[in-house]
Amino acid sequence: MSNTSNTALEQWIKEVAELTKPDRIVWCNGSQDEYQGLVDEMLANGTLSKLNQDDYPNCYLHRSDPRDVARVEGATMICTKTEIDAGPNNIWMEPTAAHEKIDAMFDGCMQGRTMYVVPYCMGPIASPLSRCGVEVTDSPYVVANMKIMTRMGQSALNRIEKEGNFVKGLHSTGELDPDRRFIMHFPEELSIKSYGSGYGGNALLGKKCHALRIASYQARSEGWLAEHMLILGLTNPEGVTRYVAAAFPSACGKTNLAMLVPPESHKGWKVSTIGDDIAWLQPGKDGKLYAINPEAGFFGVVPGTSPKTNYNAYKSIEQDTIFTNVGVTADNNPYWEGKESGETPVINWKGEPMTSETDNGPAAHPNSRFTAHATYNPVYSPESENPGGVPIDAIIFGGRRRELAPLIYEAKDWAHGVLVGAGMASETTAAATGQVGVVRRDPMAMKPFCGYNFADYFGHWLSMSEKSDNLPGVFHVNWFRRDEDGRFLWPGFGENLRVLRWALDRVDGKADAVETAIGYLPTAESLDTNDLDIAADDLEAILSIDKNQWAAEMQAVGEYLESYGERLPAALRDEYKKVQAALAA
């Protein structure tokens, strides 16, 4: 009996099973019973443990292999036929050699294991902007996470059977040996092969692998954008909602911004969340860009989440959540640094005893994660299910920069906005293995996620102005400016609402600005600072630019962009030269 009317899918599953030799094959239907069955099986074999079910109903803890806690950029590859198509921003491998190398690892790797076939849809099932995939995996933890993070199971399979196409993703946790770990992408074949890791970004193939790397490649040929962006709705006291998409590198506060709680001073304002990590944007008939969130859940960084920093995330993870690599209290509650619950951890993320907050800490790995349903977010926006997406009025780029970048500035036009995105840089975080806190170039926050040559990607961004005549305003923000003593100059969190308001007022032509060489900055009066506790000097520092520092920055941006060689769009070169000339004037 066949499991699907899609013969390509049936045939591929047969081939994969012949290669990996599982004991059993299970086609996942996405039901709650199926999820519970997987959870029970993982509880029985120790992959999951129950957390305090009174305080955290249906919440579970997973401890990963301590060597498998983050994305591995050094083992993530883009396997296009020619190296130049992958670009210097990616690690490239020739596709035939890549298949050969990774297939040798997959050979027989599922013996004694169950192979799960997981059809999923990225985006609302009924949306023409959505795309489907099938992940084959031997990890029940991955299946359970995919159930939360995507529209998974029968409804996705139905769409695949109707549409006929899907992205193929093959995954095995293998032996979890860091030396035998590869995340390979074959954009020209619309396929992914991931071996040797169970970590979300490496193993939940719908997320970074499909919705960003493969989708960015598809988006280029189809005329849309697949971006590392949150999407939020901002409703004013009159009840009018506008939508903003914002790109920040991993672990730089996208989830916090997407769920922002307006400060006391902003009664009547409301933020609602469409997505916290990925946006797919497409020009609509009215010339505006419309965005969907391809995901259905949050795979968020746990440490630092408290009722004060992110009340809505805190609430989202009180039930039906999978915690990965957090600590545990004596009451068997999940514990993490910055929870601010007054609890004390007794076991750290590796399962080792702790006698105090600091002994044998940290309790939670800095990149410990929650997997939670989007709908539990108290400010979940039902517009997340709108098949047409939501119209985007402003695109915001941002990084973690202790110096240089002001609180906010506006690009002068779309082409300049592309330069602002392409010139982004940020301090690295624990979301990827490697050194934390070093500034690196991260164009559009897509450095780890663009499935093709950045030079072509910049060209694609530039070309959106030919496809859409009502593009969003483009802005750059920095919540992370500090003084010499390391003190943050801007309070951040809910107060960031003031900055979003300025951006939307600019789009509406309602806010004043000072023109500078790098773009438009708020005048001191145009940014609402009523009831804000900030020193005048600090405000001045974050609302101004240092021309010398910026001249050095633009030199570095220029050198970075020129490293893409002759593929770099001439229009982008013109843009950085224009800024350089303005700085020199």
Which residues in 243-272 contact ligand OXD (CB under 6 A)?
250
Binds 299: which of ligand OXD, Mn ion, none (CB < 5-8 Å by kind):
ligand OXD
When the beta carbons of 138 and 277 are compared against Mn ion, the nearer one is: 277
Residue nearest ligand OXD, CB atom distance: 250
Using an 8 Å Cβ cutoff, are 3 and 10 in contact? yes
Q: Is 250 in the site for Mn ion (CB under 5 A)?
A: yes
Q: Is 299 in the site for ligand OXD (CB under 6 A)?
A: yes
Round to whole Å and give the CA distance between 24 and 210. 26
Distance of CA 480 to the CA centre of its chain: 19
Binds 442: which of Mn ion, ligand OXD, none (CB < 5-8 Å by kind):
none
When the beta carbons of 250 and 496 are compared against ligand OXD, the nearer one is: 250
DSSP category for residue 482: B
- Binding test (CB under 6 A) with ligand OXD, winner from 138, 227, 277, 553: 277
**Given CA atoms 381, 383, 384, 389 in this order, what sign does their dihedral have?**
negative
Q: How far is the CB of 436 from Mn ion (least distance, A)?
A: 16
Q: Is 277 in the site for Mn ion (CB under 5 A)?
A: yes
Binds 362: which of Mn ion, ligand OXD, none (CB < 5-8 Å by kind):
none
Per-residue DSSP letters for 247-296? Answer: E--TTSSHHHHHTPPPPGGGTT-EEEEEESS-EEEEE-TTS-EEEE---S
When the beta carbons of 431 and 500 are compared against ligand OXD, the nearer one is: 431
Round to whole Å and give the CA distance between 481 and 407. 8
Q: Where are the beta strands (DSSP E) in 386-507?
A: 390-398, 408-410, 425-427, 439-441, 473-477
When the beta carbons of 200 and 451 are compared against ligand OXD, the nearer one is: 200
Q: Is 201 in the site for ligand OXD (CB under 6 A)?
A: yes
Binds 201: which of Mn ion, ligand OXD, none (CB < 5-8 Å by kind):
ligand OXD
When the beta carbons of 106 and 457 are compared against Mn ion, the nearer one is: 457
Binds 182: which of ligand OXD, Mn ion, none (CB < 5-8 Å by kind):
none
Using an 8 Å Cβ cutoff, are 504 and 244 in contact? yes
Binds 85: which of ligand OXD, Mn ion, none (CB < 5-8 Å by kind):
none
Binding residues with ligand OXD: total (CB under 6 A) = 7
User: Encoding tokens for residue 96?
Assistant: 């035939």
Region of 268 (left: φ > 0; alpha: ψ -120 to 50; beta: rest) is: left
Q: How far is the CB of 7 from ligand OXD (least distance, A)?
A: 35
Q: Which residues contact 259 (CB under 8 A, 6 or more apart)?
A: 271, 273, 276, 310, 311, 312, 313, 316, 377, 379
Using an 8 Å Cβ cutoff, are 196 and 181 in contact? yes
Q: Is 431 in the site for ligand OXD (CB under 6 A)?
A: yes
Beta bridge partners of 425: 441
When the beta carbons of 70 and 77 are compared against ligand OXD, the nearer one is: 70
Using an 8 Å Cβ cutoff, are 110 and 21 in contact? yes
Binds 209: which of Mn ion, ligand OXD, none (CB < 5-8 Å by kind):
none
Q: How far is the CB of 499 from ligand OXD (least distance, A)?
A: 22
In which residue are the tokens 């402003």 written?
Answer: 394
The candidate with the shortest Cα–Cα distance to 523, out of 543, 508, 542, 547, is: 543
Q: Is 276 in the site for Mn ion (CB under 5 A)?
A: no
Q: Which stretch binds Mn ion (CB under 5 A): 79-87, 149-157, 277-285, 532-540?
A: 277-285
Q: How far is the CB of 419 from ligand OXD (least distance, A)?
A: 23
When the beta carbons of 133 and 297 are compared against ligand OXD, the nearer one is: 297
- Binding test (CB under 6 A) with ligand OXD, winner from 63, 71, 147, 501: 71
User: Encoding tokens for residue 67?
Assistant: 């060597």
Q: Is 370 in the site for ligand OXD (CB under 6 A)?
A: no
Using an 8 Å Cβ cutoff, are 134 and 198 in contact? no
Catalytic residue from among 109, 121, 252, 450: 252
Binding residues with Mn ion: total (CB under 5 A) = 2
The candidate with the shortest Cα–Cα distance to 370, out of 411, 408, 315, is: 315
Round to whole Å and give the CA distance between 251 and 237. 31
Q: How far is the CB of 450 from Mn ion (least distance, A)?
A: 13
Residue 79 known to be catalytic: no
Using an 8 Å Cβ cutoff, are 102 and 193 in contact? yes
When the beta carbons of 16 and 230 are compared against Mn ion, the nearer one is: 230
Q: How far is the CB of 83 from ligand OXD (least distance, A)?
A: 25
**Given CA atoms 9, 12, 16, 17 in this order, what sign does their dihedral have?**
positive
Binding residues for ligand OXD (CB under 6 A):
71, 200-201, 250, 277, 299, 431
- Residues with catalytic function: 252
Binding residues for Mn ion (CB under 5 A):
250, 277
